[in-house]
Amino acid sequence: MENIEKDISKNMYGLVKDLFPICRSITGNGVRETLKIIKKQIPIKIYEVPTGTRVFDWTVPEEWSIKDAYVLDESGKKAIDFKKNNLHIVGYSIPINKTIDLSELQEHLYSLPDQPEAIPYVTSYYQKRWGFCLSEKDRGKLKRGKYKVLIDSELKKGSLTYGELIIPGKSKKEVFLSTYVCHPSMANNELSGPAVTTFLTKWILSKSRRYTYRIIFIPETIGSITYLSKNFKTLKRNMLAGFNVSCVGDNRSYSYIPTKAGDTYADKVALNILSFKWPNFIRYSFLDRASDERQYNAPGIDLPVCCVTRSKYGAYPEYHTSLDNLDFVSPEGLVGAYEVLKECLVLIEENHKYKIKCLGEPQLGKRGLYPTISTKSSAKMGSMRNFIAYADGKNDLIDISEKIKTPVWDLYPIIDKLTKVGLLQVDLKK
């Protein structure tokens, strides 16, 4: 088991590394390349939604592609070079090719005075613009004079691309995983998400399942809106619980962002697992949301999708800069999040209403489930007797776990033992 975990963590980190160099955006070949690499691991289907398609209040934008971009100083040296780091270009920059004064150039530059070493990540999807991002330090080195600016990009009709995998189970009820593939070279937000989701998917495929799993790899915001607009009825009818998987690669903390309602089935599952596994996890408010949970919890949508993350988007200084790189995430960071999310899925599979078949306490001693000698310390009720006390057909496993303050993974073997001796009845309805 430990070896398997090491393998998984290495492989997840390897996938992050493979995907890192690609210049992704909300549309275009970066997304397609990314999905192709993932498809080598798990059998996703790839969909294209044409530019101009109306999706709720939004419209699928033109497709953006970029070949090169740089700023040349008077000596012909590249002061800024997209080929060195794809964060240097403002996402969706229109093409440009002209020579301008530094003062004019400055209006198109983005840097972070508080993080002088970091290149910021900036986009302008819905307003035609061009711009370059660079570190405050490099910006300070620009001298007065003329600069030749070249952006060899294209905006034209095309499509928005996303991947989807539906893994059927015994029940039509669905567990939903959503992750995004639209950021250029940044590791925690976002490549940790697709990597962990890919390996969770492999694990789901490897086992027998009660529930159906719906797993999507989409561009953020416009992608979730597009996916919702095409699948809303099904999602609304079948979704049991969903998780937006993002920022799951660093080592610093575990975090939780609730759904808008705050008490959906997804919240209950996530809170149960986190509170026993990582009791010091950071509990955010829905007001701290910043990713696709926004769309899944929008008014009228209200799907039970919450987030279990490590250092949450917007809450770590490296977020949306070049510092969110391959050093910021780690194999251990990835596998920690993988394990928590896996436990969430295991719990969803096992979380039924349990009921002891006899009236009164069963006599455990005669079944070899309890010491036959009674001493002073017998006054303490163990987990099995506590489980039995609440196994009344009304409490589900999460309820019981919380009432008896015992993690569900300590209850699985108890359920097995009681089932084997015929004392336990399970209500699989959900």
225 binds a second copy (CB under 8 A): yes
What is the Cα–Cα distance from 315 to 291, expressed in whole angstroms?
A: 13
Identify the residue among 108, 214, 289, 310 touching a second copy (CB under 8 A): 289
Identify the residue among 72, 386, 402, 409 touching a second copy (CB under 8 A): 386
353 binds a second copy (CB under 8 A): no
User: With 0-12 CB in 10 A as exposed, 13-18 as middle and 19+ as buried, what is 263?
Assistant: exposed
Angle at 15 between CA 11 and CA 17, to 5 degrees: 115
132 binds a second copy (CB under 8 A): no
283 binds a second copy (CB under 8 A): no
Residue span binding a second copy (CB under 8 A) among the ranges 31-39, 144-152, 198-206, 375-383 = 375-383
Contacts 24+ apart (CB under 8 A), 226-231: 226/49, 226/53, 226/55, 226/58, 226/60, 226/160, 226/162, 227/162, 227/164, 227/178, 228/55, 228/56, 228/295, 228/296, 228/301, 229/55, 229/56, 230/49, 230/55
Identify the residue among 1, 4, 379, 428 touching a second copy (CB under 8 A): 379
The half-sphere exposure of 19 on its side-chain side, counting CA atoms within 13 A, is 36
Residue with tokens 């926004």: 294
116 binds a second copy (CB under 8 A): no
Site for a second copy, residues 239 to 278, rule: CB under 8 A: 260
419 binds a second copy (CB under 8 A): no
**Nearest Cα to Cα of residue 397 among 357, 341, 352:** 352
314 binds a second copy (CB under 8 A): yes
Strand 159-167 to strand 212-218: parallel, antiparallel, or no bridges (unpaired)? antiparallel
Identify the residue among 135, 159, 201, 295 touching a second copy (CB under 8 A): 295
294 binds a second copy (CB under 8 A): yes
Q: Which is nearer to a second copy, 42 or 186 (CB)?
A: 186
Q: Which is nearer to a second copy, 279 or 299 (CB)?
A: 299
302 binds a second copy (CB under 8 A): yes
126 binds a second copy (CB under 8 A): yes
Residue span binding a second copy (CB under 8 A) among the ranges 175-183, 272-280, 342-350, 384-392 = 384-392
**Min dist. Cβ of residue 290 to a second copy (A):** 4
375 binds a second copy (CB under 8 A): yes
Residue with tokens 């398997």: 4
299 binds a second copy (CB under 8 A): yes
What is the Cα–Cα distance from 188 to 362, expressed in whole angstroms?
A: 51
51's CB contacts (< 8 A; 6+ apart) are 27, 60, 61, 62, 63, 156, 157, 158, 159, 160
Query: What is the pattern of x (binds a second copy, CB under 8 A) and - over residues 3-42?
Result: ----------------------------------------
Residue with tokens 């776990």: 401
Neighbours of 89 (CB within 10 A): 25
**Which spans of this chain sit near a second copy (rule: CB under 8 A)?**
56-58, 90, 110, 112, 120-127, 129, 221, 225, 228-229, 232, 260, 286-290, 294-295, 297-302, 313-314, 319-321, 355-356, 358-363, 365-366, 372-376, 379-381, 385-386, 388-393, 404-405
